[in-house]
Amino acid sequence: MTELTPVLARRPAQDAQDAQADVRAGPPPASRRVPRDAVIRGVCIGFVLSLVLWGGLFALVVALHHLGR
């Protein structure tokens, strides 16, 4: 029982040090964060570009159809 007493007495101090280390650490660095805004922006840009390309292809087909008459 006497061997456990120093560990038990030290434990709250260790918890306080761990808590302070977490506060000092702050948020994770940008390299480990999930880039949600960039992903959403990329998906939106890709969607708009695909619509533009499909619209251009449709316009080309319509133009070629009118030229073929």
25 vs 48, higher pLDDT: 48
Q: What is the pTM assigned to this prediction?
A: 0.47
For the chain, give every domain's residue range: 4-67
Longest dimension (CA), the chain: 101
What does the pLDDT read at residue 35?
77
What does the pLDDT read at residue 7?
54
For 49-61, what is the mean pLDDT?
Answer: 98
**Could you give the CA distance from residue 17 to residue 26 in angstroms, rounded to a whole number?**
15
Please choose, from the candidates 31, 13, 29, the residue with its C-alpha nearest in 3D space to the C-alpha of residue 21.
13
Question: For the chain, what percent of residues have pLDDT higher than 90?
Answer: 42
What does the pLDDT read at residue 69?
72
